Amino acid sequence: MDYLTTLHEAIKKKLIAVEGPLEFGNGGSRTRKLYHLKRLEDNLVVPMSGSVRAMYERGGGSELDGKMCSIRSSSAMTFNLLGNGPVRITSGKHAGSYELAYEYQLPTLRNNPHPANLDAYLKGEGEDVYCEMKMFEWLGTPRHTLRPDYLEATHYLVPREDAERFVAMFQKLACICVMGRGRKPEHLSGGRYDSLQMTKHLLAIYGKLVNDATYRPGKVTLLNCVWEFANPSTLEGYMEKYLKMETEEHKGFESFEKLAEEYIAPLFEAQGTSLSIEYMTAAELMEVVEYEPCHRAKLERYIV
């Protein structure tokens, strides 16, 4: 088996071990037949409430059209880890109860039809946590692009001097790449970690802070929750390749975090809000969220 098939098979094997026999085959392609469940409900650890379903239907990712049936779906993982809400975090620095919204959209630029789409938004008493969740995205071949508008401060929805700091950060992260004869140059970031997407999220959150006079959280956390193999030895001959990717992902986050602390955190502080940027594995998030026993038992599917 090739590398990606090995990853999929490891996930599928553990899912069946937890849930028992399941019916696959949602779609016509080979991958969908092997790794997409026929029923969305079989990929969810608890039934989805009507209000949560409505959030996904309004979201920009069209997740309920079949994407969520995939065993590698980040959206399914997000719902499975956070449930129907509210979310109660029982320990650690984020301990507390949070209202929950999925597919939370915020604008980034003027006349941009593509707002930032955060996988989950946890609204607490003294802290708001914005979540970007990844399952398999980081395990493929990375290709992170940037619209040229992000390099022009006049396109921003925040004050010019603040926009310049975001522009400077994007310039640090993206380089111009000529893709071939007859094709326009593109702004791409190197590395495995999607620092461009995370910076866009920071811009969207900051825009909300400066443009909504009623929004004054004491602390904002941008949380990147990433699924990782707990037992890479499961991958046998591909273990070394996986561990190399994991190291690249972690180093990419560390570089992004350092730049964000230098360029962006002072902007939040000037508004009276502290900014925290964190990376957490799915297993680590599972350890601190409160679940019903039957819910927690089914989450073992993600411990591979």
Q: What is the mean pLDDT of each run of 10 residues along the chain (304 residues)?
A: 95 97 83 88 96 87 78 97 96 95 96 92 96 96 88 97 97 71 66 95 98 96 98 95 97 97 98 97 98 97 98
pLDDT of the residue at 170: 95
Report the distance separating Cα 267 and Cα 261, nearest Å: 10
Burial group, residue 1, by CB count within 10 angstroms (0-12, 13-18, 19+): exposed
pLDDT of the residue at 199: 98
pLDDT of the residue at 26: 72
Report the distance separating Cα 77 and Cα 44, nearest Å: 8
pLDDT of the residue at 143: 83
Report the distance separating Cα 88 and Cα 32, nearest Å: 34
pLDDT of the residue at 12: 97
pLDDT of the residue at 120: 98
pTM for the structure as a whole: 0.94
